[in-house]
Amino acid sequence: MAISEQLSETVAWLHGTNPLADQAVEQRARLLLLDTLGCMIAGLAKPEPRTLARSLAALEPGQIKLPNAPPLTMGSAAYVAGLAACWDEACEGLPRAHGRPGLHAFAAAIALGLAGQHTLDETLGALVAGFEV
């Protein structure tokens, strides 16, 4: 089966289910979100990520406010959130392998959640769906 077919099936499956229906999945998603948010906040306290956020905001101001950062566009917010979350190599995953399976989903979910004023459940659902894909 081609990758495009596999992706299509996975997206169809995710669209037809509630990613948070299993309480254990929801609990793990909440822990993942809180852990990665903490790492992002710590990263945004560092000069380099903060400078990057300021530079991106100067190029194209946005509406999404991350801690210790000026308002950013959705794309910039996702980029900065992902970069800041792994800045100290403290977020979930296997650090020696540089594997952070939830980081790509976190960056997109947090930016989309803040931009669209989505609920926590919607943001958690997006995080779980992104983690699965």
Please indicate whether residue 17 or residue 79 has the higher confidence score (pLDDT). 79
Summarize pLDDT for 80-114 with one digit per residue, the tens: 999 999 898 776 655 555 666 678 889 999 999 99
Sign for the pseudo-dihedral over CA of 93, 95, 96, 99: positive
Q: Which residues pair with 72 in a beta bridge?
A: 61
Position 50 scores a pLDDT of 96
Closest by CA to 81, choosing from 58, 114, 59, is: 114
Q: Which residues contact 79 (CB under 8 A, 6 or more apart)?
A: 56, 107
Is 80 exceeded by the pLDDT of residue 126? yes
Which pLDDT band, with edges at 50, 70 and 90, does 7 fall under?
A: confident
CB 76 within 8 A of CB 56: yes
- Structure confidence at residue 108 (pLDDT): 92
The number of angstroms, rounded, from the C-alpha of 12 to the middle of its chain's C-alpha atoms is 21
Q: Enter the pTM of the model.
A: 0.83
Could you read off the pLDDT of 22-75 as tens digits, one per residue?
Answer: 999 999 899 989 989 999 999 999 999 999 999 999 999 999 999 999 999 999
